[in-house]
Amino acid sequence: MALYFLKRLLLSVLVVILVVIALFLLTYAIPGDPARVALGPRANPELIAEFRARMGLDQSLATQLYNFFVSLLQGDLGRDAISGEPVLNTVLSQFPDTLYLVLGSVLVALVPGVILGILSARYRGGIIDRISSVLSVSVMSVPAFVIAIYLLLVFSIQLGWFPAIGAGTGFWDRLHRLVLPSLALGLAWIGYIARILRASILEEMNEGHVRTARAFGLSENRIMYDYVLRIAVLPMITVLGIGIGQMLSSAVFAEVVFGRPGIGKLVYDAIISRNYPIVTGTVLVTTIFFVVVNLGADLLVAWLNPKVRHDLSR
Amino acid sequence: MTSPADSPTPGAAPKPDPAGDRPAKRRGAFGRLISDPLGMLGVVLIALTVLAALCAGMTSWDPIALNPLARFQPASSEHWLGTDNLGRDLFTRVLYGARIALTVSIGATVIAMVIGVAAGLIAGYGPRWLDNVMLLIFDAMKSIPTVMLALMLVTVTGPSLYAVLLVVVLVNAPAYARMARTQTLAIRRAEFIDAEQALGAGQARIMLRHVLPNIVGPILIVAAMDIPVVVGIEAGLSFLGLGVRPPTPSWGSILFDGFSYIRESAWPVIAGGLPIVITTLGFTFLGEALRDTFDPKLGGGN
C-alpha cells in the first residue's frame, strides 16, 4: 500500500515535470521576440538587449529551462506582461471564482447522476434504465458552450429568471448567478456518473458476499446501501477526479458566456491581449491542480477499497 | 451453485442460443446497427449533416457577402434560419459550416488514429524502457485539461485550422496509442506469435498481419465516439475566436456572432447551436450502437 502511494506520487511528479518542460518549450516557440512583445514597438536596441539580459533570454535553452524550474520552485511564475504583477498572484486571485463554479457543477453532476445510476441498476432493463441511458448519452455529447448559450438564451434573455452577467455580491446573489453556469458545465457529467455507477453496482451485485447477504434474507435496500454502494462508488470517484479537471478547463466557456470572473476568463483575455506569461501561468496552475485532484482521487479509492486495505493490514 | 431461475447477471456465462434466435444472428453488422433505434437515429442525423455539407452552395445566398440592410431577420421562406448581425443568410452559413465541421473532425480523427496507433505499436513492441517513457508521455499529455492545452497551443501557433488539427491530434492520439499498446503486449505473449517467429516471420509481418487486425474494431468504435468531441473542440475554439478565421463560416463562429447580439435576435444562436447538437448526437449515438453491436465488453468506464 505504502509502495503504491509512493509510486503513484512519483508518477504524478514526473508528469508535472514533463508538462512543465512541454510548456517551457511551447513558450519558447511563441513567434516574435518576447522582449519586443514586452517592451512594445518603440523600444530601442539597447533597451531590448538590457531586457534580454535581465530576463535571461540571452542564455542557452538548457540554462533557461533550469532557471525556469528554479523560479517555479520558488513560486515565481514570471510577471504579467501588462500590469507587471506576479503571475501567481493574478492566477490565484481568480481561482476561487472558478472553484465555486466547479463545485456547483460537481453538485449538478453528482446528485442526479447518483440517483439515476442507482435507480437504473436497481430496475435494470426497466423504463427508468432505458430513459436514463438515452439521457446519459445525449447530455454527454453536447458541448458545454452550446448548453451555456441555450441556457442563457432561454432562462436569462427570454424568461429573465437569472441575471446574464457577473458573479454577483453576497451569498444568495452569488448562488443565484451560479445556477446556469454550473448547469452548463455539470450537465454532461450526469451521464458519465450515472453510467459508471450503474455498471459498478451491477458488477458488485454479482459478488459472492452480496449473494450471501441476499441468501440470508437481507432486504434489497439494506444490501444496496450497506454492501453494494460502499464499493460501487469507488470507480465514480476516479471519474469525478477527471471530471473536475475537465470542468476546470471548460470553465472558460461558462465564464465567457456568463461574463463571470475566473481563470477561464483570465486566460481568454490574456490570449486576446497576447499576455503570454498569464496564459502559461494559468495553464500550469490548472494542470498541477488537475494532477493533484487525480492523484487524490486515486489514493482515496485505494484507501477506501477494503480489499486493498485488507492486504495492507496483513 | 445458483439456481437456474436466477435473474441474468452481467458476466454470467452466455446461455446456448435457442434455435429461434439464429436468423437474427445471421443479419449483417449494418443490419444489427440499424435495428438499434439509437443507432438508426445516429445514422439519420449524420446523413443530415453530410447532406448539409453536400448542399452548401446550392442556396441562392452568398455565405460571406454582407447585406447590412437585412440584419437580424427572423426565419422566413426567404431566409430559412433568418440572418445574422451582418445580414448574411444563416442557413447558407450553416451549410458551409457543415463542410468545415465534417472535414476537420473526420480528418483530425484519422490523423490522430494513425499517429496514435503507430506510437502504440512502437511502445508495445519496443524495448521495456521505451515503453515506459512513452507511457509517461501519454500520461503527461492526458494530464493537461483539454481546453487548456488547446488554448496554450493556439497561443503559440496563432488561430487557424491547423492549430485545431494539432490540438485534436495531441488530445486524442494517446487513447489510440494506449489501445494499440495493450493489444500488442497481449498478443506478443501468444503462442502462435512464437510459432510465427520460429517460422521466420519478421516484426513487420507480425504487426501487420496479427496485431493490427485485432485492434481495428475497438479503434473504430473509439474513433466514432471521438468525432463529436472533435466537433466540439473545433466549434469551441472557433467560438472563442481561436479556430477557423472569420469570415469563413464555422458553427462556432456563427454561435459567437449570435452570442454577441443575443439580445437583438435569437435566430443566429439557434442556427449556430442546432447543427452542433445534431452532429454530436448523431456520432455519439452511432458510436454507442457500434459498441453494443461489435464489442459489448468495451462498455462502461474505460
Domain membership of residue A14 (yes or no) is no
Residue from B136, B144, B149, B274 whose CB has the most chain A CBs within 10 Å, to mutate: B144
Q: How far apart are CA B230 and CA A107, in angstroms?
A: 27
Q: Out of A29, A199, A249, whose CB is closest to B146?
A: A249
A16-27: average pLDDT: 83
ipTM: 0.80
Domain membership of residue A47 (yes or no) is no
Domain membership of residue A57 (yes or no) is no
Give how many domains chain A has, as a whole number.
Answer: 1
Residues written for chain A: 314
Q: How far apart are CA B94 and CA B227, in angstroms?
A: 18
Could you report the per-residue pLDDT of B191-217, keeping only the tens digit for each?
777 777 778 777 777 777 777 887 787
| Range in A124-133, A174-183, B68-77 the model is least confident about | B68-77
pLDDT at B131 over 50: yes
Q: How far is B284 from chain A (nearest CA, A)?
A: 6
Q: How far apart are CA A47 and CA A53, in angstroms?
A: 10
Contact B11, A203 (CB under 8 A): yes
Taking contacts as CB-CB distances below 8 angstroms, the residues of chain A near B154 are 271
pLDDT at B76 over 80: no
Supply the pLDDT for residue A38: 62
Q: How far is A267 from chain B (nearest CA, A)?
A: 8
Supply the pLDDT for residue B266: 81
At B152, the amino acid letter reads: M
B34-49: average pLDDT: 84
Residue B230 C-alpha cell reads as: 472533435
Q: Out of B136, B147, B263, whose CB is closest to A14?
A: B136
Q: How far apart are CA B102 and CA B231, in angstroms?
A: 8
Give all domains of chain B, ordered by start, each with its CATH number: 35-65+77-298 (1.10.3720.10)
- Residue A111: give its domain's CATH number: 1.10.3720.10
B131-151: average pLDDT: 83
Domain membership of residue A306 (yes or no) is yes
Residue from B138, B152, B267 whose CB has the most chain A CBs within 10 Å, to mutate: B152
Domain membership of residue A13 (yes or no) is no
B206-233: average pLDDT: 82
pLDDT at B159 over 90: no
Residue A72 C-alpha cell reads as: 517555479
Q: How far apart are CA B198 and CA B219, in angstroms?
A: 30
Q: How far apart are CA B256 and CA A199, in angstroms?
A: 38
Of the two residues A268 and B293, the one the predictor is more confident about is: A268
* Cα B128 versus chain centre, distance: 32
- Structural domain containing residue A161: 93-313
Q: How far apart are CA A152 and CA B259, in angstroms?
A: 9
Domain membership of residue A219 (yes or no) is yes
pLDDT at A294 over 70: yes
Residue B195 C-alpha cell reads as: 510459432
- Contact A145/B236, CB-based, under 8 Å? yes
pLDDT at A6 over 60: yes
Could you report the per-residue pLDDT of A272-281, keeping only the tens digit for each?
887 888 888 8
Domain membership of residue A191 (yes or no) is yes
pLDDT at B23 over 70: no
Dihedral (Cα; A196, A199, A204, A206), 10-degree rounding: -170
pLDDT at B19 over 50: no
Supply the pLDDT for residue A259: 86
pLDDT at B61 over 60: yes
* Closest-CA residue to B300 (of A191, A240, A196): A196
Domain membership of residue A42 (yes or no) is no
Give the pLDDT band of residue B73 (cuts 50, 70, 90). confident
Q: How far apart are CA B278 and CA B99, in angstroms?
A: 14
Question: pLDDT averaged over chain B?
Answer: 77
